[in-house]
Each structure stands twice: as structure tokens, then as C-alpha cells.
A and B are shown apart, each in its own frame.
Chain A
Amino acid sequence: MSGTIGWAPALLLLLAATGAAVRVPAGEFAPLFGLDKGQAAFRVGGYWLDRVPVTRERYAAFVSAHPEWRRGAVPALYADGRYLENWDGDRPRAGQEHYPVTHVSWFAAAAYCRDRGGRLPTTLEWEYVAAASRTAPNASKDRAFTERILGWYTRPSRGDLGLAPVGETPNWFGVENLHGMVWEWTSDFNASFITADNRADGDTSRNFFCGAGVTGAARREDYAAFMRYAMRSSLGATFTLGNVGFRCAYDRTPEAAGRAS
């Protein structure tokens, strides 16, 4: 009996240590932007997603295997001057090994995921999983849920002072830390239709869809989603911010693809 009790936490620890990815079942999802006129939702799912954001320790292992991604070795074309600026040389600061990696560019994040046999999730794939609360697959109309997210968005980040080791109670999909920790890169982060001047977005969407309806209109009150789209569209692929991290997605089982991140 005691053996059984000891075994389960050990497995959990092992899973945590290997940073297992979670299978995301297929479903229907209507994001804030992107639907065509008359289209109610996208079919999305059937991929694996990292359970937690990529940690500094895991990213350090990647850097040591691929020295071209060391701080100082990366050309400015791939990452700006603040790449890994919160590290001590090639190592994360002591005590921050399990913090989500930040100060990484989109190029760096994409290279990491490629190396793991995966890729960055699309915005749609990310938003689909991030719409889940702990108890419901789509809580985007649950006011308490969106207010909690919005509460996090309204507070300053304060760099590493605002961070902690990854891990929390998982959401409905079994994924953690999608909200309340860092913003996350997506593969198509700069393809959303929020312009810098948000007030013109109605027109932009209309033009983009050649006269199709404004897709987000039904959820004009979903300020939390607006802010994510706005944040992504303010980024450039070389930017390395103190509050932007990432996680990887996989089209095959991560085991088949190699190692989960």
C-alpha cells in the first residue's frame, strides 16, 4: 500500500520533470477575430501542447546544445539587445531555474520548438485552450473568469519580481499558466487585425474580409481577449520582453516527435 502511495507522486514528479505535453481534443472555437461572415466557429484541436511554459532550465539546456543561441552569439536580426538579459551569462539566475523563460525573441522560441520536434502554437490553437477555466472548456462568457484574467492584465509586470516557478491547478484541458504568468509567443502573433489605433479596427476587419462582417463584434465586451490581440500586434519578431515567454505545440505525440519540451 505504501508503495502505491509513494509511486503516484513519483510519477507526477517525473511528468513534471519531463514537462509532458497535453493532448488537446478537437472542438469548435470562435476566436475574437478571424471568422468569415456567416462562419460560427473554427474546428480546432488534435495537437499536443506543453502543459507549462518553457522554463529557464529547459531553455538553458537548449542553449548549451546550440551555442549559436547563446546570449551575445545571436545576430541582431534574430533577437534584440535584451535577449536573455536577466541571466547570469549562459545560466539562469540561481532560484529562477523553474521560472518561465523570458527575454526571448519569436525566432528563438520557434527555433527551440523546432529542436523539440514541435512548433509554436497558432494564435487560434493558443486561444482555444486559453478560453478554458478549471471547470469548463470555454469560459469566455464566464464573467468571473474573464475579470480574473483582466485583473492580471491591469497590474504591472515588474520583470522577474512578478514571476514564480511554473505550475498551477490545470485548466479543463489539463494545461497550466496560460493566464497570470507571462504573455506567450504564437506562430502568427503579428497576423491579427488589431491595428495600433484600435478605433479603426472595425474598418480594418471589414476591408480585410472584403465586405464581410466584423467578426469580433459579438464579443466587444471581451476586453481580456482584446488586450491579448493588442499585445501581440505590438510585438516584432526580434523583440525580447521581460514578460513574454512561450510554450510549444506538436502535431505528433511528443514521444514520437522526440522529446517534449
Chain B
Amino acid sequence: MSYRSAMKTCVCSLVLALLALATVAGAENTLPVEKAVLTSPPNVPPPIKRTTPAKVVVELEVVEHVGPIADGVEYTFWTFGGTVPGSFIRVRVGDTVELHLANHPDNKLPHNIDLHAVTGPGGGAASTFTAPGHKSRFTFKALNPGLYVYHCATAPVGMHVANGMYGLIYVQPEKPLPPVDHEFYVVQGDFYTDEPFGVKGHQPFSMQRAIDEHASYVVFNGSALSLVGDRALQAKVGDRIRLFVGNGGPNLVSSFHVIGEIFDTVYFEGGQKSQTDVQTTLVPAGGSAIVEFKLETNGTYLLVDHSLLRTFNKGALGMLKAEGEQVASIYSGKELDEIYLGDESVASALRQQHPTPTAAKTQAPGAAVDGKEIFAKSCAMCHQAEGQGLEGVFPPIAKSDYLMKRAKAADRGELVGLILNGLTGKITVNGNDYNGVMTPVSGLSDADIAAVLTFITNNWGNSGAQAFTVEEVAKLRAQVAGKPMGAAE
């Protein structure tokens, strides 16, 4: 190639490049501009109907505020938009997103945002680093569809995230997912305080517990109270549900499961591929999943992290209530409850081989049994370590009018029956309604039951009832045997 023709090619390419640049710039300038609809959890902005790209303006404000993390427990949250998780952002693949980040003047700290939906260094972190009382802006193109986590990335990052600075941005694909009846926004997060779960009052962040990855709270949507009782997700039998699930972390991975449902479809890791017929899906810290299912029959479905101690002891429990008729052909409800004695010869042979401590206690009346220990082993999982219960889910044992009325009754068979046979239906404890199921507690001897009842009726603000004796319990056990308890009485 001669020098001259090389020059020509050069000039030509340059002109072409300039033209191309002008075209891109022109296209960007002529994009229709719209303001993003942002929603607080558990709500999701409506699907985007557009079929061509737009410039979408997203305005997020960082707010530091105090709110409940559990019943009677306050925590200072740092948030995108005043909620944990932060506002849900919905854009369409190919959109140009202009993101404004405002840091409220009352805030103590600088903040920024790293959106996993961004292609570019830091995901926007350096471009949005903002002092209190200032705001920043940056623009990115949503190149990849999917459900992405966003979070604060200011030093120390782990602490900003541990205090609630995360949320989800959904980049809707060109071909949108089929319409459903309800879309909900649920994000799990782990929190770190010096005191364990449920200790009342304002609980400050514990740096050491966070470094040790020793969470005291694992919750959906920033609080053990977010999705229970009156705040449960509401739908109807026959509805199709889509959950946009995220995990802010900062440390723990979620085994996301809905008790009583099978996910018809899971877009695992928030991507474009899906799997069908899934029981539990793994949601990594800083990751997501889209799960879909149809509510085939009525009832309350529980959203949990199937790392179950987090659910029953640290708050990772949400509720989805399906109103409507029971569909008996799909789920019958309890059809039978009768005595089962088992094969007594096998059982007694086993007992001879392995005499259990419980059996020994039963055989030695008067032996010391620790009611507190039995409570911790058999009851605390639901009623909580200090008997405080879980608002709207598990009634309290502590300071319980329901318990003490029955403990002071002449015939205390109801309490023994409740332990041995369980309880189903609506009850009222301390003025609050509970409509759930207590399963029978198995494996307790008469001495165990006497000890645990004596313990709970003389602690945590309960008093005035006589101690339960082994003899009394033995008598009551025979009385209530095989009589399942309904709440109606």
C-alpha cells in the first residue's frame, strides 16, 4: 500500500469513525426520556411495555434511619430510598440509565452505589462517591438482561452492606417474561449485633460479629416483621406468583424455599436460563433468583431460608397468604388422627438394648429434670429462647395470659394435652390472634412435662400457679390421650 492510499484509508476510517460517533451520540440524544418508577419492598414496578430503548432517569436517595429489625428491637439502617432492601429499579435491556445518587444532608457518612447490572469499572462506585448533603450522577447502558443486586461500596464495604445498603435492579429482557398475577420483591440479609436475636432496645452494629460471620439476625426485607401478620404477601387461589429474590448478604448464602410450594420455574442466579420443578434454590450473597409458582390451594405459605435455624431463631421467615377455597383434590388437610401403638415387642427390645436417659428418669420419680433445658431443646425453636414468641407466627410463653389461665385452672389437662397432641386453629394470646399449627411434642416423659410446665409457669413474668407433679401429669396424660385439641372452646 502506498503512503498516499494509506493516508486515504486513514482519513476515510477517521471520517467513518466520526460519523459513527455522531450517529451514536445522535441516537442517545433522541432517545425518549422517562423517569424510572421506583417501588419499596415488597412491591415491584409494573412491566415495561416499550419495545425500543429509552433513556431512563433513576433518582435514589441514601437515608440513614432507625427502624425495627424485630419485635421491640431497633436498628440503625443505612438505606437506598428509606427501605431495606432499597427501591426496586426496573429498566429494559438496551436502555441508557442515568443514575442520580443523593446523600441526605443529615447523614453522617459518604456513600456510593455499585450496580451489578453495570458494565464498567466498579459498577458505578467511584462515579457516585458522594459526601453527605451532595449528589452525584453517572450513566450506563444496560447491556445484559437479568436480575441484579446493587449495593454501597464505600469503605468499609462490609459494614455499609451489613447495615442494609442493597437492593435489586431488574433489566427486563427484549422478550419479557409471561405476565403473572403478582410480582413481589424479597431480599434476604444478615445483621450483626452484640446481643443475640430478640434482645429489646436499640442494638448497635457489631464489627467483631460481622467479621466472625456470626449473624444475630437473618431476615427478609430488613426485619423479622416485614412479611408476617398484617404485612404478609396477599394473593388468591389460582394466582400465578413471581418472586424477585435477592440476597444482600453481606456474608450468608440463602437456601431459599417456600414451605408448601414447588417452584414451577426458577431463573437461577437471576439469568435467562430456567429450571422447572424446584424445591429450594440457592441465592448467593450478592446474587438473585426469579422464582415462579401457581397457588393451587388456599393457606399460608412460608418463605424461609432452609438453613432452618435462621428461620426459627433469627427471623428469616415471611408469609404468603392465598385466600380462597381449599382444593381438596390437591391437598386434603388432615384426614385421620388416631392412636398408633407401634410394635411394642420391637420397641421394648430396643429399649433394653439402648436404655435412654429419658426412660431412666421416667422410672425414677423425683429425679431432677431441668425444665429450662427441656424448653430449650423442645420448645424454643418456635416459642424463642426467652419464650417471647414471634409476632403473628408463634404465640409468646412469656407473660402469657393464655398459658396462666390454664395453669391456674382446676383441671390442667388442657396444657398437658396441648403438648402431647398439639393444637390447631385460632387462639388469642395477650390480645393478639394466632392462627397456626402446633405439632405434638414427642419423646417427653411425665417428669419432663412436669418440669417444663413448672418452669414456664414460674418464669418470664409468669407466676401464681402451683408446680406440676409427675403424678399429676401421668394422670392427665391418660385423660387426654388421643384427644387432639382444637382451638375452639
Contact = CB atoms under 8 A, between A and B. Distances in A.
B424 interface: no
Nearest to B65: A156
B47 interface: no
24 contacts: A146-B207, A147-B206, A154-B108, A154-B205, A156-B65, A195-B126, A196-B125, A196-B127, A196-B128, A221-B208, A223-B159, A223-B207, A227-B156, A230-B154, A230-B155, A231-B109, A233-B129, A234-B154, A239-B131, A239-B133, A239-B134, A241-B105, A242-B105, A243-B108
B112 to A, nearest CB: 6
Contact of A229 (B126, B155, B163): B155
A196 to B, nearest CB: 3
Interface residues of B, number: 36
A242 B131 CA distance: 11
B76 interface: yes
Nearest to A155: B76
Interface string A177-200: 000000000000000001111111
Contacts of A231: 109-110, 131
B163 A154 contact: yes
A184 to B, nearest CB: 14
8 residue pairs, one from A and one from B, having the closest CB atoms: A196-B129, A234-B110, A198-B155, A197-B125, A230-B155, A196-B126, A156-B64, A197-B122
A242 B133 CA distance: 8
Nearest to B134: A239
Contact of B155 (A156, A194, A221): A194
Given A157-B107, A157-B132, A241-B131, A150 B76 contact: no
Nearest to B126: A196
B106 A150 contact: no
A226 B205 contact: no
A18 B457 CA distance: 64
B204 interface: yes
A227 B64 CA distance: 15
Contacts of A239: 131, 133-134
Interface in B117-142: 121-122, 125-134
A16 to B, nearest CB: 27
B156 A157 contact: no
Contact of B154 (A151, A154, A198, A200): A198
Interface in A182-226: 194-201, 221, 223, 226
Interface in A145-189: 146-147, 150-151, 153-159
Contact of A196 (B76, B105, B154, B156): B154
B131 A235 contact: yes
B157 A227 contact: no
Given A221-B208, A229-B155, 18 more contacts: A154-B108, A154-B163, A156-B65, A156-B106, A159-B106, A196-B112, A196-B153, A197-B125, A221-B207, A221-B211, A226-B155, A227-B156, A227-B159, A230-B156, A234-B110, A234-B129, A241-B131, A242-B132
B446 interface: no
Contacts of B114: 197
Contacts of A199: 122, 125, 153, 157
A227 B155 contact: yes
B10 to A, nearest CB: 35
Contacts of B163: 154
Interface string B81-119: 000000000000000000000000111111010100000
A156 B154 contact: no
B155 A241 contact: no
A205 to B, nearest CB: 12
B108 A197 contact: no
A43 interface: no
Contacts of A200: 122
Contacts of B105: 82, 159, 241-242
A244 to B, nearest CB: 8
Contacts of B112: 196-197
B155 A201 contact: yes
Q: Find the residue from A156, A157, A199 having the highest chain B CB count within 10 A.
A: A156
Contact of A223 (B130, B132, B156): B156
B156 A226 contact: yes
Q: Find the residue from A82, A197, A236 having the highest chain B CB count within 10 A.
A: A197
Contacts of B153: 196-199
Contacts of A221: 207-208, 211
A236 B133 CA distance: 12
B131 A197 contact: no
Contacts of B121: 197
Interface in A231-254: 231, 233-236, 239, 241-243
A92 B338 CA distance: 80
A150 B207 contact: yes
Contacts of B133: 82, 239, 241-242
B132 A243 contact: yes
A236 B431 CA distance: 56
Contacts of B204: 151, 154
Contacts of A230: 109-110, 154-156
Nearest to B124: A197
A155 B108 contact: yes
Nearest to A236: B131
Nearest to A161: B106
Interface string B50-66: 00000000000000110
Given A226-B155, A229-B155, A243-B132, A156 B125 contact: no
A153 B126 contact: no
Nearest to A201: B155
A53 to B, nearest CB: 16
B154 A153 contact: no
Q: Find the residue from A196, A230, A233, A239 having the highest chain B CB count within 10 A.
A: A196
B131 A234 contact: yes
